[in-house]
Structures are given as structure tokens and as C-alpha cells.
Amino acid sequence: MNLTAALYDKLASDPTLSGLLATYKGLPAVFTVDPVPKDAVLPYIVTAGEVAHTPWDTKTTRGRAVIRDVRCYAEANGSAVVVEAIAERVRALLHRQPLQIDGCHWLISDVTGPIVADEQDAYGRILTLNLTVQEVIT
């Protein structure tokens, strides 16, 4: 299962979200590594690794329940409008929306948040993706 690729593809391919983000090496600033590259500029998104992976198996199938954070950051310039717009777009793209994940059938996804995660030089918002998938057994 490659959730990282599925999330990157979903977020980076959305023109509305891309318009809210900086670019990095010619692509929307959506990072799947933590920490982000030192030369990255705000605003950007970070989604790197799962918070939890839990089996979601039945008698005849295998599945997973996955929890993953998506962190959104924008410049601390006196207004949180930009970071909140990014977070709301991420939520719209992921909440109850299907994901194409290699080796899995998407069953459901819910997004909680955004919650405030401001830092000294950046405003931050964290959304948490709760995803349930059924593994494709070949």
C-alpha cells in the first residue's frame, strides 16, 4: 500500500490547492518527508508517515485502518486566512473522497480538524485523515 503516493497525487494535482501553495522545484509545495527541505518556502503542506496502522480484517478479507496527519503551514504575517484556506481545501479533497491507492480498495475516509499548530515563524493547521482500506489479495 502506498498511501504517500496517493495523498501526494490527490493534493498536488488539485489546481485550487496548488494555487494556494508555493512551488518547490516547479511543483506544488506538498512534502512527504519531514523535515521539509531547507530551501522550501511557505506556504506548504507536509504529510509524512502514519500516526497509526491497525488491522481491519474480517474472516475473508484483510484491511487496514490508518491515521495520518496532514500539516499545513503559511507565513506568520498577522492573518491566518491563507493557512485556513489551505486546510479547508485539504479537508474538502480528503473527507469522504475516494483515494486511488495501489493494492487497496478505498472504503471510507474521514478528516478531523483543522486544529491550530502555530509555530514561531509560521501559522500551522493540522488535519487528521482516518482511512479504512481493504487490501487486494492476488
CATH number of the domain at 3-135, please?
Answer: 3.30.2000.30
Q: Residue 3: what pLDDT?
A: 86
Q: 86 burial class (0-12, 13-18, 19+ CB within 10 angstroms)?
A: buried
Instruction: Give 138 or 66, the one with higher predicted confidence.
Output: 66
Per-domain boundaries in the chain: 3-135
C-alpha cell at 37: 527541505
The pLDDT tens digits of the residues spanning 57-82 come to 888 888 888 999 999 999 999 899 99
What pTM value is reported for the model?
0.90
Q: What is the DSSP string of 35-99?
A: SPPTT--SSEEE--S-SEEEE---SS--EEEEEEEEEEEEE-SS--HHHHHHHHHHHHHHTT---
pLDDT digits (tens, 9 = 90+) for 15-63: 999 999 999 999 999 999 989 999 999 999 999 877 888 888 888 888 8
Contact 70, 39 (CB under 8 A): no
